[in-house]
Amino acid sequence: MGMTESYYYQDVQVDYAQVDSKRTMRPSSLVDALQSLAVKHSDAIGYDLDYFEREHMGWMLTNWHIRVSRWPGEGESLRISTWCDQHGRVRADRDFRVVDKEGGTVCYASSIWVNIDTERRRPNRPSADFLDPYIFPKPLPLAKEDYAMPALPAREPDAVMETMVTRRDTDTNGHTNNAVYIDWATDTLSDAFYDGHTLSDMVVAYKKECRRGDRVRIASWREGTTILSQFTALDDPACVFGIMSMTWK
């Protein structure tokens, strides 16, 4: 791990537990690796999990856009970098880059994180003195993101799955880990589609906290090679936990 004036980085190796039957990194494993580096960057500037617990504060991810050039294989060496170039009163924009040992691009990702009061479960407004250490003086250039995704089709979904959030699905904020949604969405795909296509683009919007014990309905629609998924409360279709668009090739 290290830090430059442009980004915080970590050199990693793709572990066997992170790959799927294709022997390449599982989409949820990539999301785990990115968000884990964000936590380590926060640790490095003095804001570790103990600090957030003491201050009843935390960062919650609200949006992802991940653009994948290729999926790395088991045992492959990677460098993952992250940086923040701006913040608002309650949010911070964080970008990521993953490259292989030759410097070839594996993926770029953009994300929005909202600072919350973990007792009230409401957005928090930390001071600029708290937020400024996250910002790098010379961040890498990356196009600004609008996190747009197609509208859900006005027809019955092509696949539906139901599940219940258990202890293993939750994180330190007490809600469903962001990466779990990725597994839920990909689990609605047929083996033929998943094995015959490669995920190249993923946009996620987290709308409402999904917590342990919640029963979740995952509905997916296929539009060509784009899969749109919606995550709702099983007993309340109006309660939307999140939506996702995945483009495959």
**Eight-state DSSP code of residue 186:** H
β-pairing, 57-68 vs 199-206, is antiparallel
Contacts with 196 (C-beta within 8 Å, 6 or more apart), sequence order: none
**Eight-state DSSP code of residue 30:** H
The reply to whether domains 2-134 and 159-248 share a CATH topology is: yes
CA distances from 45 to 4, 85, 132, 166, 221 (A): 13, 15, 10, 32, 42
Q: Which single residue is written with the structure tokens 């708290």? A: 130
Structure confidence by residue, pLDDT tens digits, 115-167: 999 999 899 988 888 998 999 988 887 777 889 999 999 999 999 999 999 99
CA distance 139 to 183: 31
Task: Tell me the Ramachandran region of residue 107: left when phi exceeds 0, alpha when psi lies from -120 to 50, beta otherwise.
Answer: beta
Environment class of 96 (CB within 10 Å of its CB; exposed 0-12, middle 13-18, buried 19+): buried
CA nearest neighbour of 142 among 82, 100, 69: 82
Full-model pTM: 0.93
Phi, psi of 169 (to 5 degrees): -85, -10
Phi, psi of 7 (to 5 degrees): -165, 165
Instruction: Read off the tokens for 176.
Output: 């469903």
Structure confidence by residue, pLDDT tens digits, 48-63: 999 999 999 999 999 9
**What is the longest distance spanned by two Cα atoms in the chain?**
51
User: Angle at which helices 27-44 and 178-187 pack, to 10 degrees?
Assistant: 170
91 Cα distance to chain centroid: 15
Instruction: Read off the tokens for 55.
Output: 């201050």
| CATH code that applies to domain 159-248 | 3.10.129.10
Q: Where are the domains of the chain?
A: 2-134, 159-248
Residue 147: the pLDDT is 93
| Coil, strand or helix at 179 | helix
Indicate if the alpha-carbon torsion angle 33, 39, 45, 46 is positive or negative: negative
Would you say domain 2-134 falls under CATH 3.10.129.10? Answer: yes
Instruction: Read off the tokens for 38.
Output: 């964000």
CA distance 210 to 22: 30
What is the full per-residue pLDDT of the chain (249 aa) written as tens digits?
A: 899 999 999 999 999 999 999 999 999 999 999 999 999 999 999 999 999 999 999 999 999 999 999 999 999 999 999 999 877 778 889 999 999 999 999 999 999 999 999 999 899 988 888 998 999 988 887 777 889 999 999 999 999 999 999 999 999 888 999 999 999 999 999 999 999 999 999 999 999 999 999 999 999 999 999 999 999 999 999 999 999 999 999
